[in-house]
Amino acid sequence: MKVNTKKLIIGLVVIFSFLSIIFYTIIPGFMPFNSPCDVDYISDGEYAGCYLVSPIWGHVVIVDQNGIVKWRSHDNKFFLHDSDVLPNGNILMADTSDNRVIEVDINNPSKILWSWDALNISDINWTRFSLDQGWTDIPFLEDQSSLISSWTHLNDVDFINGSKFGRNFDSILISLNNFNMVIEINYSETKEIIWWYGHPTNITIINHQHNPDRYDNGNTVICDTGNDRIIEVNTSTKKIVWELKLEFPFGKFRFARDCDDIGNDMRLITDSGNNRLLIYDMKSKKVVKEIKSPWLANPYEADMLPNGNILVSNLFSDTILIIDYKTGIVVGIIGFPHKWIVPYCVIGTVMAYHSSKLIKALKISNKRKFRKILDFQIYRRIVYIILGILILYFFNTILTFLWFFTLGG
């Protein structure tokens, strides 16, 4: 039977368009989260043993180990990066799309109990702050014309217990990615900036950073993403006391986003652009473990779980992964990679087509046994099929690579 190629192509385009509508517009509404950035294990309280997930699009959610949503924020946000459970049980959020930090009542998600707004002059007067630092070449600090693309790109927020550092007040550590600055503000009604690091126009200090964190020793670790390094800064002196840039055989950092102290002088590092996790030994000053997996799809943030496994937010595939620390094998997946259905169907259809052509070519070939492979029609079909298998296996890595060298780079 002769196949009408034109009709076949039109039919496939209609089918894949229909699938795209389903999996990119309808299905996401039923998913627990959409493109998760930050994920945290909740160790105590009402939701102990669950995970707090902050998606790029949608609601901040608390899910159990089976992916069942136990709590959901009130507003469906365009862009969220990070959230933390506060000691009082409420949720602190980095609301990137609105350039603010908000504290939401855990019992009434529609109620905002506290906020710090980068656009509110009552919370921060950027002109005064700039002049106090002697900065005169930073007009963009007052240029809020790029609000649609997030003016500050506020991409991380962390609660700091002041009593741990001899203070009688708590504070909030905030990353302003587009300002190349990390600031620490008083967690009170005064909201004054009590510490800062970086400079809006000097990217040699930090450049579009991610996930600053205050270690128990009082230092501040910063993933200096744009400079392909991780630094630890003495908070008092602002001097760099530790710097990590990768060398052979590990290449270099590509979008390092997270660096956690996991004890025993070990650091757990998320190297997003390279689609991997690294374990760095501070004593030997070496990377002692590299974790790669076909399941990793632009990992954003990783934490150690109490049982020794690693919790990872998988930005590109709408999933949270649980990885065995010793073997690097994915032992748990929460969520569903719905975005991959359409490209997988396309690749699968192409492979099925070439497989049918391969079977037909094998039947009509007059060569014997393995000599059939030397037949050009058979050989090229085999190559296409192998190529399709490799693309499927390395799909996440390929996508992350393309992202880094286009939007991410």
Residue 345 buriedness (CB in 10 A; 0-12 / 13-18 / 19+): middle
> From CA 73, how far away is CA 7, in angstroms rounded?
47
Whether 283 and 368 share a structural domain = no
Does 58 fall in a domain?
Answer: yes
Task: Tell whether 319 and 383 lie within a shared domain.
Answer: no
Residue 84 buriedness (CB in 10 A; 0-12 / 13-18 / 19+): buried
Is 29 part of any domain? no
Neighbours of 126 (CB within 10 A): 19
| Integer-rounded Cα radius of gyration of the chain | 25
- Is 254 in the same domain as 345? no
* pTM of the predicted model over 0.85: yes
Q: What's the chain look like in SS3?
A: CCCCHHHHHHHHHHHHHHHHHHHHHHHHHHCCCEEEEEEEECCCCCCCCCEEEEEEEECCEEECCCCCEEEECCCCECCEEEEEECCCCCEEEEEHHHCEEEEEECCEEEEEEEEEECCCCCCCCHHHHHHHHCCCCCHHHHCCCCHHHCCCCEEEEEEECHHHHCCCCCEEEEEEHHHCEEEEEECCCCCCEEEEEECCCCCCCCCCCEEEEECCCCCEEEEEHHHCEEEEECCCCCCEEEEECCCCCCCCCCCEEEEEECCCCEEEEEEHHHCEEEEEECCCCEEEEEECCCCCCCEEEEEECCCCCEEEEEHHHCEEEEECCCCCCEEEEEECCHHHHHHHHHHHHHHHHHHHHHHHHHHHCCCCHHHHHHCHHHHHHHHHHHHHHHHHHCHHHHHHHHHHHHHHC
**Same domain as 363, residue 284:** no
Planar angle of CA 406, 175, 57, nearest 5 degrees: 60
Query: Do residue 244 and residue 364 come from a single domain?
Result: no
Q: Is residue 28 part of a domain?
A: no
* Cα gap 373→371, rounded to integer Å: 5
Rounded Cα–Cα distance for residues 6 and 331 (Å): 45
Last-in-domain residue among 336, 361, 389: 336
Query: Is residue 27, in this structure, part of any structural domain at all?
Result: no
Same domain, 248 and 261: yes
Range of the domain at 155: 34-336
pLDDT over 80 at 407, yes or no: no
pLDDT single digits (tens) 163-191? 999 899 999 999 999 999 999 999 999 99
Query: Cα separation of 62 and 52, whole Å?
Result: 5
Report the pLDDT value the prediction gives residue 145, as an integer from 0 to 100: 54
Q: Is the pLDDT of residue 370 over 80?
A: no
- The CATH number given to whatever domain includes residue 178 is 2.130.10.10
Q: Is there a single domain that holds both residue 13 and residue 88? A: no
Terminal C-alpha separation, the chain = 50
Tell me, yes or no, whether 329 and 367 share the same domain.
no
* Residue predicted with more confidence, 77 or 281: 281
Higher pLDDT, 109 or 142: 109
Which tokens sit at 118?
């980068």
- Which band of pLDDT confidence, cut at 50, 70 and 90, is reported for residue 100? very high
Whether residue 262 sits in one domain with residue 394 = no
Task: Give residue 140's pLDDT.
Answer: 59
Q: What percent of the chain has pLDDT over 70?
A: 92
Q: Are residues 262 and 123 in the same domain?
A: yes
Given 336, 352, 375, the domain boundary residue is 336
Pair (309, 346) in one structural domain:
no
Residue 211 lies in a domain: yes
Question: How many CA atoms, within 13 angstroms, populate the side-chain half-sphere of residue 321?
Answer: 29
Share of the chain above pLDDT 90, in %: 57
Q: Are 182 and 207 within one domain? A: yes
Length of the chain, please? 409
Inside any domain, residue 175? yes
Mean pLDDT confidence for 259-285:
94
The structural domain count of the chain equals 2
Answer positive or negative: Cα dihedral of 342, 155, 219, 273: positive
For residue 26, being part of any structural domain is answered with no
End position of a domain, from candidates 301, 336, 371 = 336
Give the model's pLDDT for residue 242. 96
Main-chain phi, psi angles of 269, to 5 degrees: -120, 135
- For residue 76, being part of any structural domain is answered with yes
The rounded mean pLDDT for the chain is: 88
pLDDT for 409 beyond 50: no
